[in-house]
Every structure is written in structure tokens, then in C-alpha cells.
Amino acid sequence: MEAMMDAGEFRAKVERLEKNLSRVIKGKSESIRLLVTGMLAGGHALLEDVPGTGKTTLAKTLARSIDGEFRRVQFTPDLLPADITGSSFYRPQDGTFEFREGPVFCNVLLADEINRTSPRTQSALLEVMQENQVTVDGRRRDLPRPFFVVATQNPTEFHGTYPLPEAQLDRFTIRVTLGYPDHAHELEVLASQHERNPFDEISAVVSREEIIAMQERVKRVRVDAGVADYIVRLVEFTRGDARLRLGISPRGSLALYRCSQAAALLAGRDYVTPDEVRGLAFAVLAHRIVMDTKAKYGGMRNELIIEESLAKTLIPR
């Protein structure tokens, strides 16, 4: 950790990780790349798509590829905050309270179907995701490092779901959609699962320490003042827009900054160009926007706002 990892080593590790992931998830290299980018940027990822596209499988594969503690919470309507963070139990033997850690005390947390639980329980993740800590009974408890939340949600179902609160959405660094695989890749999926599930053959390819080192390495990527300015301008564009109830927060610009660094390193460069920023703008920014009701029902979409912002913001050259 002390000796800084060089770019070649970094890439080799990422390639190993991505190869591992693509053994299970076929033909989704872009989505995998985004997920890894989000993780290396030290953030959390929201996997959003219709059922059956491999959200949970991707999250599980990623968790298994990292040699760390993996926990999975199936979010159900009756889940309580304490079920996630942990709670104190009374010990009759000596009359004291003992804290039992909840599932968040891990390295990779899979929050499956996160929008099926009430906003009250969803909010239990607010502190966890931003500050990597849990406060229970007035005592602060740190989570292990690295800590990475992968949440999945299904955007098309409405019965018995609670849309994520804006503050919660904002805490997801990156939103990844998978989409259906194309014809050839779907055939490949069928073939690969003919006898056994490739998921069972997955083993850890990077250690916890390596992930931490990679996250530290990402922070060293050079960001030119012009590029930083470009990020802020993109974000600022959304703040004055009358069609939006909520623009993008500074947390959003920070996420874009960090993710761009990770993407540049993944592309084998030690500096960020506007191309990385543009490539990530949709995944990092779109889900943070809250549309005005009139604009929403007028057919406006978050992605169109980002598109407009990209089209109308001058690019540093």
C-alpha cells in the first residue's frame, strides 16, 4: 500500500477482475467497466434493470471476485433499520448490553431489491454509504475497508415498491443498467450454463488490500484545471434549469471527478481528458436529477437533461 502501484499493475489487476466477471456476465463489458469504475472510485453502485438481466448475479460475482467479506440483504417490506445496522442485545448473565453487528459490517454489501423496503429502512443506509460508519445507541462504529454497496432495483414494477429517496439516490456514485444481451451473447449464456453454473467456478482474484491500494492509486490521477472546470460547468448547467426540481449536488460533481480518474486509469492514462468525463456523465449524473412534475409528464427524461448539458457546455481543448 505504501509503495504506489504503477499503472501497468493497476491495469493487470483490473483486467483480471473484469475477466472474472465476464465469465459469468456475457457481452456486458461496458456495464462491467462502469461497475468496476464506481468501485475503484470508492463509491457505491446502483444496478437498475428489469428482472432477469443478471443484476444480482453481477453483484454476487463481483463480491466473490474480491477476497473479502460478502453479505447480502434481501430488502423486504418488513425489514427494519436494526436488521441492517445491527443492535444491542441484553445479556442477563451480567446485566449488560452487547452489540451484535448487522450485515453492513462487511466489504461488499449486496442490497437486493432495495426499493422493496420502506424509506425508513432505506434511510439506514444513508450514514453507512456516505461515511462508512454506523452509529447505534449513540456509539460510532467504523465499517471495515474497503466498503462497497451494490444495490439492485427494478424500475418497472410499482406494486409494493418505495422509490428511493433523493438523498439515498445521490449517495450512489454510479448507476448501471444492464439491458438484455444480444442474440449471440444470450446463446453463449445458455451454452455456458448447460451443465453447471459458471458462477460456481468463480474465485477471488483481488484481495481487500489490493482494492484499497487501487482506490488510493486512482486518487493520484492528474486532473487538469480545465477538466475540473468542465465537470463543474456540466453540473452547474442543471442547477439553474426551470424543468428541474433538484439539480446535481457537489457530491455529484465529486463523484464524476473521482470516476473520471478511475476511467482514465482504466484506459491506461494517468491524466483525465474531457472524453472520460463525457463518457461517464450519464451513469454518474443522470440518476441524481429530480425532474419537475410538469416536465416529467411532458416527456422529459433525466438523460435528455444530461444530453443537453453535454451539448451546451463548451469543451476544454
* Residue placing its CB nearer to other proteins in the complex, 91 or 222: 222
Measure the CA–CA gap between 76 and 203, rounded to whole angstroms. Answer: 29
Q: Which stretch binds other proteins (CB under 8 A): 52-60, 170-178, 184-192, 232-240?
A: 232-240
Total residues contacting other proteins by CB under 8 A comes to: 27
3 state SS of 91: strand
Residue among 273, 285, 286, 288 that touches other proteins (CB under 8 A): 273
Q: Using the rule CB under 8 A, which residue among 23, 233, 251, 296 binds other proteins?
A: 233
β-strands 148-153, 45-48 pairing: parallel
For other proteins, which residue of 84, 150, 205, 227 counts as binding (CB under 8 A)? 227
Q: Which residue has the cell 433523493?
A: 166
The answer to whether 253 contacts other proteins (rule: CB under 8 A) is no
Q: With binding defined as CB under 8 A, does residue 271 bind other proteins?
A: yes
Those residues whose C-beta lies under 8 Å from the C-beta of residue 44, and which sit 6 or more positions away, are 38, 129, 148, 149, 150, 151, 171, 172, 173, 174
Cell output for 95: 446485566
Residue 16, interface with other proteins (CB under 8 A)?
no
**Min separation Cβ 277 and other proteins, Å:** 9
Torsion 68-168-58-200 (CA) sign: positive
- DSSP H or E segment with residue 110: strand 108-112
The cell numbers describing 123, all together, are: 434511510
Residues 77, 118: Cα–Cα separation, whole Å: 6
Which of 278, 290, 292, 303 contacts other proteins by CB under 8 A? 278
250 touches other proteins by CB under 8 A: no
Pairwise CA distance, residues 261 & 135, whole Å? 31
Q: φ and ψ at 281, to 5 degrees?
A: -55, -45
Q: Which stretch binds other proteins (CB under 8 A): 4-12, 164-172, 222-230, 248-256?
A: 222-230
Q: Which part of the chain contacts other proteins (CB under 8 A), choosing from 18-26, 85-93, 236-244, 289-297?
A: 236-244
Under rule CB under 8 A, residue 236 binds other proteins: yes
Does 185 help bind other proteins (rule: CB under 8 A)? no
β-strand partners of 271: 222
Contact predicate 69/107, CB 8 Å: yes
Task: Tell me which of 226, 268, 294, 301 binds other proteins, using CB under 8 A.
Answer: 226
**Contact status: 184 vs other proteins (CB under 8 A):** no
Contact residues toward other proteins (CB under 8 A) are 222, 224-227, 229-230, 233, 236-237, 240, 269-275, 278, 310-317
